[in-house]
Amino acid sequence: MSANLINLLIESTLQTLYMVAVSGLLGAVFGLPLGVYLATSQRGELLSSPLVNKVLGLVVNALRSVPFIILVVAIIPFTRTIAGTSIGTTAAIVPLTLAAIPFIARLIENAIREVDSGLIEAARAMGATPFQIIVKVLVPEALPGIALGLTLALVSLIGFSAMVGAVGGEGLGDLGIRYGYQRFMPEVMAAVVVILIVLVQLVQSCGEWIARLVDKRAPRNRGQ
């Protein structure tokens, strides 16, 4: 493989990392509070608001139901408004973020719902407010699940970032299509696949390590 192709691989990898990092961060910023609210706003829960919960749930489900490649094409006018263009790395962040928010929200909701309800009742009995229960009980107890959920979201975003290369995005997906497929260079395609696999493995390993680190039960489990 020539030095030029190696440079292209490095550049494309950095573009992919940029897209995944920014969209993952934005997805978490909006998805985390949305997920917490969905987990605590059904009837009789801490922030009981069943109507709002139902409406938000329908919106989240609708966004999650749209195939990513269709979402990218469907929101091109919106992407152009936000990013000033519909092609390139920065433009790709818009659909990636919109895909990440509902996905992360559901993952966070599931992690919050796995917290023992007895802890919530105990906190209520001690006079804690709903906000205090969320911040000091639910979120800390759900941290391992949240970490694993965000890890899964980042892994999915790596796959989505490769897909967006088919519709004008940059990164490893674009490189694989332009050189590996259109120019019949299987070694480039193979290199792209290997790099994507390595990225996924690194993200997964780091996510699992963080989940173990924040798991309050881990010391007790190791001592048994």
- One DSSP character per residue, 200-219 reads HHHHHHHHHHHHHHH-TTHH
Residue 171's SS3 state is: coil
Residue-level pLDDT at 221: 45
* 97, 26 contact by CB (below 8 A): yes
The Cα–Cα gap between 119 and 4 comes to: 58
What's domain 3-215's architecture? Orthogonal Bundle (1.10)
Cα R_g (the chain), whole angstroms: 20
Residue-level pLDDT at 6: 87
Residue-level pLDDT at 165: 80
Residue-level pLDDT at 208: 94
pLDDT digits (tens, 9 = 90+) for 26-75: 999 999 999 999 999 988 888 889 999 999 999 999 999 999 989 998 99
How far, CA to CA in Å, does 40 sit from each of 58, 66, 130? Answer: 16, 26, 9
All residue ranges of the chain with pLDDT < 70 are: 1, 217-224
Q: Enter the tokens of residue 117.
A: 């309800």
Alpha carbons within 13 angstroms on the beta-carbon side of residue 221 total 6
Return the domain boundaries, the chain: 3-215
Q: Enter the tokens of residue 54.
A: 């139902």
Q: Which residue has the tokens 């996510």?
A: 207
pTM for the full model? 0.89
Q: Positive or negative, the Cα torsion across 153, 40, 136, 112?
A: negative
* 115, 45 contact by CB (below 8 A): no
